[in-house]
Structure formats: C-alpha cells, structure tokens
Chain A
C-alpha cells in the first residue's frame, strides 16, 4: 500500500515537472511570436505577414482541403526516408561499432557522406529516379543515414569494457548481450541522432519536393512563391514545422522518456 502511494507520488511529481517545463517552452514560443509580430508590423505584409495572418491562411487552406493531403504526402515521404535510414543506419552502425576494423573502414566513407551536400544528392536522385516519390525519399535517406550511423557506431564503441567483462563472466548469450548490455547503452546515443535526423529529413524533403515534384508542401511553396503570396508561404512553413514538432514531441519524446527512465531516477 505504501509502495503504491510512493509510485503515485513519483508519477505526480514527474507529470508536474513536465507541465512546468511546458510552461517554459510556451513562454519562449510567445516571445518568438511577439518578435515575429513586431517585425511583420515593421516591414508590411508583402515581406512578412503577421503570425495571425499566416495562421488564418493556413486555416483557410485546411478548409479548402488543400493543406491536409499535401501535408500527408510530405510526411509520408519524409518518414519513409527517415524510417529507412533509421533501420539501415542503426543496424550498420551497431555492426561497425562492434568491429574495430569495420569502424576504421567506415570513417572515411562517413566523412564523404557527411560532406556531400544534399543538393548534390538531389541532382543525382533526379537523374536516377526522375520526378516522383523516389527522389525525395532517397535524398532524405542518404542525408540522414550518416548521422544515425555515426550515433550507433559511437554508442557501441563507447560501451564500458568493464560491463562487457561482466557479460562474458556471467555467460550471457549473444542475444542477451545485445538486448541487456549493448542496446540500452547505445539507445542514449541513438535517440539524439534519430531526433537530429528527423529534423534533417523534414528540411530535405521540402527542398527535394520544391525541385522535383508537383505535390507536397515543397511544391505548394514553389507555387505560392511564384504567386508572390507571402502569407501562403508562411502558412505552409508553419504547417511544416508544426508537423515536425508534433512528431518529435508526441512520438519520439515519450518513447525516449520511457526507455531512458533509469537516468532520471
């Protein structure tokens, strides 16, 4: 009974803390909106529409049934590329981290991949895949891959040798070593890498769409630019950033909290 009361107290405290940190973010968001509003008033609606104008335009786009499908198309492409690089990057990074030789061989390749500008990949992707889903998905994948790969590799490499000895001494099977020793440690490197890659995927997908496709937020941005419709451009940008924030804070953050609960206690 006492134990249960303790759990409830702990949970209440954690939730309270989370809400309180939420107020902090809300306050900084309000300051950001205020600066936007002030700048907009100074420069006029052609240069920068006010936040309310942008939101009203976005609401109108939703009502007209234009925004929803475009956002879904963009999210689908970004998430497909991101998911692909999460799967491939995490697995290969783990494998490379386990072997010294593999990580030394991977290093220069990763440097090349990181150094290669996404726009160059985009050009290649256009030649290889043409206009369609393939181009944005591939560009997102190839841009996110090195970030996740390096995260997984570093995580595996930095695992405490002492804990490996414990695992060997107590006769842990390869599967148990992976799930009980390697993964819990690697995850604390993987999650930041995943979140960085997710942000990256959202930027890349819009760039790819702007240049290669006829649908999605990127294409909509290209249209609103050609119409000199700044309010619509801002509306699309708000929609884009909003989706990214929703996915990060409603999907990844709760998973991270759950998986990393041992750090906070």
Chain B
C-alpha cells in the first residue's frame, strides 16, 4: 500500500484520512488529490472540519490516520483572517515569506512593491502598520504575501468570505492573473457555491456532515 502512495512531485494526495480532536471525530475516510495547475474547491456547511482538512493539507496539523503526500515545493496559505503581523509594516508583512527564503532586503522590497502596486495597494499603504489599513486592504496584503513566494500550491481558507461583493470580484481577478503567471494549483475551502464555480475547475462537496464530522468528498462538478 505504501509503495503505491509514494510522493509525486507537483501533486497533493490525501488518502484514507481520518482525523480526531480528542474523542471528537472530525474527518473520516477522505480521499482527495490536487494536481499541478488545477483548482479544486471544497464546499460544505460551516463547522464540519473543512478548515481542519486544509490545515492538514498545509502540514499545520499531523493526521491521526491516513496519508497526506504533498509534492508541491512552495505551498502558501491564505487564512480566513488576514493574519498580518501587527508589529510589521505592510511591506515587511508581504515580504515575510521572501525573507524566510533568504532573499536580500533590496530584492524583496522591489518585488513586494511591484506586486503590491499590481494588487491595488499604494506606496503609502506599504509604509503603514496593518492596524491602519482597512479590512479590504489587509486582505489584499495577505493575498500579496501568499503570492510573493510564487506558490505552486495555494491553499485558500474562506479567504474572501468576509469581503463585499465588489472587492471579492476584484480579488478573484487578481487571483486568476497571478495563477496565470505562476501556474499555481489551488485548493480552496468555501461555503459560497458561486465562488467555487467561478474559481475552481473541480468542485467537491462534503457528502455527509453531522456531529461536526464529515465523511468523504463527492465530486459534483468537473
């Protein structure tokens, strides 16, 4: 079994995944794969463990049972909240992933400025602390932070759910444009079916959800 499940480069494969928090079952028998360049959306009601699934895929949690083989080299995640570091200016927040890669200050500042302007942030915004930015600008900064590392897998955890419609469609367009450049695969979680249809090539629905547990994912659209 283990031989058949070896890690494939540029692919995320989840098989036989079960997860629990204490005695609380959260995920049961999940099978899911995301190939390079592909966008997959998981839709389903809140409180069923969708975020847990994404955190497991990101490696932020260790699975209780089953296998997660992430063959993507540069995964990035956009969380439900912007989660910018409050003590860093927007510029340094966006540059966080680049700094972790050991890219020099001058290089990453130039890269961040280019990206941020493209995403509708101004030079003044880059010099502000996150608390001085509006919610929409914070989301743009969080998206820019994820794009900055040129991810080959982008994990989106209801990243747009708190935004108004105009801003949403603007960020959808930005996402599409960046994907076209980097060719990143996307695994996104949402409870908004229209968002899933608009952004994803393949949509999975949580097939059964009760007691805060979901079992298997049923593909409802290709």
Contacts and interface: CB of A to CB of B under 8 A. Distances in A.
B87 A185 contact: yes
B180 interface: no
Contacts of A185: 87
Contacts, number: 53
B1 interface: no
Interface stretch (A149-157, A165-173, A204-212, A225-233): A165-173
Nearest to A168: B60
Given A171-B97, A180-B96, A265-B128, A165 B79 contact: yes
A101 interface: no
Contact of A180 (B83, B85, B124): B85
Nearest to B148: A170
A118 interface: no
A181 interface: yes
Contacts of B97: 170-171
A176 interface: yes
B175 interface: no
B149 A170 contact: yes
Contacts of B113: none
A83 to B, nearest CB: 25
B99 interface: yes
A265 B77 contact: no
Contacts of A176: 99-100
Interface in A156-192: 162-163, 165-166, 168-173, 176, 180-181, 184-185
B81 A181 contact: no
Interface residues of B, number: 26
Contact of A162 (B81, B128, B149): B81
Interface residues of A, number: 18
A169 B60 contact: yes
Interface string A241-265: 0000000000000000000001001
Given A165-B79, A265-B131, A265-B132, A172 B85 contact: no
B143 interface: no
A166 B87 contact: no
Contacts of B145: 170
Given A169-B77, A170-B149, A176-B99, A262 B129 contact: yes
B85 A166 contact: yes
B40 to A, nearest CB: 19
Contacts of B128: 265
A259 B126 CA distance: 19
A181 B100 contact: no
Contacts of A172: 96, 100
B132 A162 contact: no
B88 interface: yes
Nearest to B84: A166
B58 A169 contact: yes
B165 to A, nearest CB: 26
A5 to B, nearest CB: 13
Nearest to A166: B83
A181 B60 CA distance: 17
B93 to A, nearest CB: 10
A170 B170 CA distance: 25
Interface string A109-126: 000000000000000000
Given A165-B79, A265-B129, A265-B132, A170 B85 contact: no
Contacts of A169: 58, 60, 75-77
B55 to A, nearest CB: 8
A167 to B, nearest CB: 8
Contacts of B99: 176, 180
Residue among A169, A176, A262 with the highest chain B CB neighbour number at 10 A:
A169
Interface string B44-74: 0000000000010011100000000000000
Contacts of A262: 86-88, 129, 131
17 contacts: A162-B79, A165-B55, A166-B83, A166-B96, A168-B59, A169-B60, A169-B75, A170-B97, A170-B149, A171-B97, A180-B96, A181-B85, A262-B86, A262-B129, A265-B128, A265-B131, A265-B132
Given A169-B75, A170-B100, A265-B129, 16 more contacts: A163-B83, A165-B60, A166-B96, A169-B58, A169-B60, A170-B76, A170-B96, A170-B149, A171-B97, A172-B100, A176-B99, A176-B100, A180-B88, A184-B85, A262-B87, A265-B131
Interface of A: 3, 162-163, 165-166, 168-173, 176, 180-181, 184-185, 262, 265
